[in-house]
Structure 1
Amino acid sequence: ASEIDKIKKQCPDATVLLRLRIDNSLAHVDLNKKFGAARENALALMLQAKEAGLDMAGIAFHVGSQTVSADPYLHALDIARELFEEAEAAGLKLRILDIGGGFPIPEPKVKFNLPEMLRQINARLDEDFADAEIWAEPGRYICGTAVNLITSVIGVTERGSQPWYFLDEGLYGTFSGVLFDQWDFKLISFREGDEKVAATFAGPSCDSLDIMFRGRLTVPLQVGDLLLVPSCGAYTSASATTFNGFSKAKFVIWERVKAEVEPVAAVGRVEMNQSVAQAVK
């Protein structure tokens, strides 16, 4: 309720949505512990916003990160449909529904059927919200598999009969997603070998908290070895810092270029393709 007064003061004709709390214990990251109005308070808050002169336009929810089933969405849509009807009976016509994000990153270890999820969600939207403007925020699903980190082993030691590898990236840098999003990053070594040892991987900062992985199986590594860390496109650089004086990881953008050439002469096409190949190379 305190948000209504603040918005009214700063932007008295603002269009607003009510954030609805949707409990989903199966979400990888529960985004409803901090945000969202309880179901029993929702209508009163919307009417209060309308009485304050705000354009009370609709409802928003977020079922939580990495949701692999349509069920939490369908549950949220059931509640939203009830509130749309209750609001209309009270003289408030809602017109916008924001279903948030939560769609899972297509990682091999994450088991889900996205087409079926979307089919069920779309069917419910068509049935119950045909006249509403639908918003969605599938940011992580879009960018989660983008960006690969290449990090270097800058220190090797042994503690408690286990090898420790210190990397030039840590929790305060690209691996911030370990803390903020509980993400289990893959570490791919360029060193060949069948022997696997359980090792601890830590970052470069002075903070004892700066430990990413314990007991991670790896081939034995040496100072100077490189590791490839895929799928760093979400909750990594966005939450990275320069704590302890370490710069953020440098971005190198690799773009494949395919030439679209008019079919004038075979020789011309071959020359163009060779020059493009050389440029990409």
Structure 2
Amino acid sequence: MNYFEYRDGEMVVENKKISDIADSVGTPFYLYSSASLAYQYNQFKEAFGDIDLLICYAVKANTNQAVIKTFADLGAGADVVSEGEMRRALKAGIPASKIVYSGVAKTVQEMTYALEQGIFQFNVESEPELYQLSQVADNLGKTANITFRVNPDVDAKTHAKISTGKSENKFGVPWKNVRALCADAAKLPGIKLVGLDLHIGSQITELDPFEEAFTRVCDLVEVLREDGHDLTRLDLGGGLGIPYEGDDFPPLPREYAEMVKRVTNHLGCKIIIEPGRFLVGNAGVLVSKVVYVKKGEERKFLIIDAAMNDLVRPSMYDAYHGIDPIKESDQERTLYDVVGPVCETGDTFATNRLIEPMESGDLLAIRSVGAYGAVMSGTYNTRKLIPEVLVNNDEFAVVRPRPSYDDIIGLDQLPPWLSK
């Protein structure tokens, strides 16, 4: 469901005019819809029905406290990949008993903090990590519930930079090593093997790769149970995509859930899923203002006040994002390159994109940026991080303010020999 729509020729979010928010906050800024966040979460929850399920929001997709708190209030757990993300989840109200710790390079400090909080489980990704976690847990007199993240060597059919389930990827335990590693884990102090985990990638737009991977891992659970391991949890990761372009819609949560239940129900395991992009991606837009309309020899450019440091996905992944004016027009659309002010040719959001004619001062929305937008932003060219705004019906609040230049420059400290 789209909560960013046109009414009387002007784009609104829920029941709030975006132009009114822009007048108050200034551009550029990220804008999120509370109703969209709740709708996406409830789609998953309702699709799985009454099975034993834990939905852990993948915090890396959008780490804003207001977003995490929205999911916490809906009953979500969290999937985290750092101590910082865990601290964010805890502060937003998600209990440690609903937090799953993923990531390939967990440090002793991070393991210690997570164990002291009483984390739900660690998704262990390598043999060295297993032995390090055993030592840390044993020294603390605690037991770490673990799953092994299995690399099923399945092609997720997604962008190479967000594919994580092939044998050449850095993630997970190699398929051929799992049985031996489980046998080792059973003998280690401070370790309790409770299940298996997998995550084959992000922005997956068809069910076949999921089903292939899940089937392989379910078969492995049965083998490991025959080996004597009491496996009660199956963490299926995330990865379900969202529509970025046109009418190419990925599977719905209902279709995904039906497949999961068909493949896994015979095991009687608790199912854990870790959606991120699906929950937040289409819940956000980036609102920007046209600074100049520039005519080149063969192209027309919309130069806007947002830049690649604010939204890096088009530059990093050649990602497509819909771009629409805040105010509709009945004029014939024209071709533009939409670019930002950063001194890089890669500071381009769209090339030869058909958009309604726009002028200096007009507002536009870059769509589907709720995931991997603000979290990947930076201050290149000493540009201010842009605000994040959350709307709830006809109300809005700035949930991350725009810093001042003094805030940014003040992070630097001169050494003693330059301070005289």
1:145 alignment partner, one of 274, 282, 285: 282
1:9 alignment partner, one of 135, 140, 146: 135
Structure 2 equivalent of residue 204 of structure 1? 341
- Distance verdict in 2 for CA 1:49–1:155, change over 3 Å: farther
1:12-51 equivalences in 2 (<5 Å): 12=138, 13-22=143-152, 23-28=154-159, 29-32=162-165, 33-51=169-187
Q: CA deviation at 1:236?
A: 0.6
1:64-79 equivalences in 2 (<5 Å): 64-79=201-216
Q: CA deviation at 1:191?
A: 5.8
- Distance verdict in 2 for CA 1:57–1:153, change over 3 Å: same
- Give the unaligned 5+ runs of structure 1: 259-281
The percentage of aligned residue pairs carrying the same residue is: 24
SS state of the match for residue 148, structure 1? Answer: strand
Assess if the C-alpha contact under 8 Å between 1:172 and 1:243 holds in 2: yes
Higher helix residue share: 2
Q: Given the alignment of the two structures, is residue 178 of structure 1 paired with residue 314 of structure 2, yes or no?
A: yes
Q: Given the alignment of the two structures, is residue 125 of structure 1 paired with residue 125 of structure 2, yes or no?
A: no
Structure 1 equivalent of residue 228 of structure 2? 91
Q: Given the alignment of the two structures, is residue 110 of structure 1 paired with residue 248 of structure 2, yes or no?
A: yes
Higher strand residue share: 2
Bigger drift between 234-243 and 79-88 goes to 79-88
From the CA coordinates, give the structure whose radius of gyration is larger: 1
- Distance verdict in 2 for CA 1:257–1:228, change over 3 Å: closer
* Runs of 4+ more than 4 Å apart: 179-182
1:60 alignment partner, one of 197, 204, 217: 197
Assess if the C-alpha contact under 8 Å between 1:4 and 1:52 holds in 2: no
- Distance verdict in 2 for CA 1:244–1:141, change over 3 Å: same
SS state of the match for residue 11, structure 1? Answer: helix
Could you state the TM-score of these two structures normalised by the residue count of structure 2? 0.55
SS state of the match for residue 151, structure 2? Answer: coil
C-alpha distance in structure 2 between counterparts of 1:194 and 1:34, whole Å: 50
C-alpha distance in structure 2 between counterparts of 1:153 and 1:45, whole Å: 56
Q: CA deviation at 1:25?
A: 4.0
- Distance verdict in 2 for CA 1:40–1:186, change over 3 Å: same
Number of residues of Structure 1 aligned to a counterpart in Structure 2: 255
Q: CA deviation at 1:6?
A: 2.4
SS state of the match for residue 261, structure 2? Answer: helix
Assess if the C-alpha contact under 8 Å between 2:333 and 2:355 holds in 1: yes
Q: CA deviation at 1:42?
A: 1.7
Structure 2 equivalent of residue 249 of structure 1? 386
Bigger drift between 232-241 and 9-18 goes to 9-18
Structure with greater contact order relative to length (CA < 8 Å, sep ≥ 6): 2
C-alpha distance in structure 2 between counterparts of 1:179 and 1:68, whole Å: 21
Q: Alpha carbon RMSD of aligned pairs, Å? A: 2.5
Bigger drift between 94-103 and 194-203 goes to 194-203
Structure 1 equivalent of residue 13 of structure 2? none
- Distance verdict in 2 for CA 1:194–1:140, change over 3 Å: same
